[in-house]
Amino acid sequence: MSEDFRLHILGCGSAKPTLRHWPSAQMLTFRGRSYLIDCGEGCQWQIQRMGLGFSKIRAIFISHLHGDHCFGLPALLSTLSLLKRTEPLDVYGPAQLEEFLVPQLEFFRDSIAYEVRLHYVGTDRVERIFDDGLEVSTFPLEHRVPTCGYLFREPRPLPHLKRDMVIQYNIPEYARRKIKEGADWETPEGQVIPNAELTSPAEPPRAYAYCSDTRYLPQLAEQVKGVDTIYHEATYIEEHAESAHQRFHSTAREAALIAKAAGAKQLVIGHYSSRYKDGEAQLLAEAQAVFPNTILANEGLSVEI
């Protein structure tokens, strides 16, 4: 059975506040650690509401410096200090993060007692930026300000040990891990059984791609090819495609075209324009017409990657 690798939606509205949604924020959980993706206003309440806790936050990844993706950050950093965090915290984001956050860290230096380590990432290239067992890369997006997406990939799982081989050669418990890691097995009689006969390949590592605010970029499908779950902003319905293009956002149909071309298993759409007061049913229908396995992001939603 594979390990729990899960996406939690904390907020999926867009810039103009509504009572229906909170601004963009998500949390990924893997191996007892959490990774925060964007940090819209109210993010710290949403973390509590979903019972996710603050102490396991390992790093924060900001896609761009629009308020609906980062206004929650200073508040959260301060709260972590109130909660007596001592472990350093890594915060990744485009270079504008410095202008936004450094003066606030300076102003609140007495109330943030742990080290906040800022890492500036490029928004024009694919780049591996982080690996603590979960591997994180950036990929370029095109929005009104420098913006990147993030791709999260679990380590390659170890191959499976064939049960019949374990029985046939009476392989003891202590030797099994080594074989999974690539070792051959030598029988007491000195016969070497090659690793390939003892194991079968593991499932490919699971991956999640966060495609934040962006205009429709057909080439994005290449960069997120084969990931299991894609989140893609879907601010507008097709009727408002003109607004989408003018404001460097995407329609639900365009989000679905990316998921389809990338061969994803599941698409989560969000970042809904505040103009859809009757809900997001039409966004969903337009996306599903292209990519049936689409679901609507919603605060409180938690999906397995």
Q: Which residues are catalytic?
A: 68
**Per-residue x/- mask for Zn ion, residues 27 to 46, rule CB under 5 A?**
--------------------
- Those residues whose C-beta lies under 8 Å from the C-beta of residue 21, and which sit 6 or more positions away, are 11, 12, 13, 272, 299
User: In angstroms, what is the minimal distance from the CB of 41 to Zn ion?
Assistant: 12
16 versus 56: smaller Cβ distance to Zn ion: 16
Minimum distance, C-beta of residue 5 to Zn ion, in the bound complex (Å):
25
Candidates 121-129, 183-191, 211-219, 239-247; binding stretch for Zn ion (CB under 5 A) = 211-219
Rounded least distance, CB 69 to Zn ion, Å: 6
> Is residue 299 a contact point for Zn ion (CB under 5 A)?
no
Q: Which stretch binds Zn ion (CB under 5 A): 82-90, 156-164, 212-220, 237-245?
A: 212-220
What mask of x and - would describe binding to Zn ion in positions 52 to 91, judged by CB under 5 A?
--------------x-x-----------------------
* Cα 62 from chain centre: 11
Phi, psi of 214 (to 5 degrees): -165, 150
Among 213, 254, 286, 299, binds Zn ion (CB under 5 A): 213
Which x/- pattern, by CB under 5 A, does the window 159-198 give for Zn ion?
A: ----------------------------------------
**Dist. CA 283–CA 251, nearest whole Å:** 8
State the Cα–Cα distance between residues 32 and 286, nearest whole angstrom.
36
CA nearest to 146, candidates 165, 129, 121, 127:
121
What is the nearest approach in angstroms of Zn ion to the Cβ of residue 143? 5
Tell me the C-alpha to C-alpha distance, in Å, between residue 14 and each of 7, 55, 132, 133: 19, 27, 31, 32
Q: Cα–Cα distance between 206 and 5 in angstroms, integer?
A: 8
- Those residues whose C-beta lies under 8 Å from the C-beta of residue 234, and which sit 6 or more positions away, are 250, 251, 252, 254, 255, 269, 270, 271, 272, 283, 287
Query: Which of residues 34 and 235 has its CB atom nearest to Zn ion in the complex?
Result: 235
Residues lying near Zn ion in the complex (CB under 5 A): 66, 68, 213
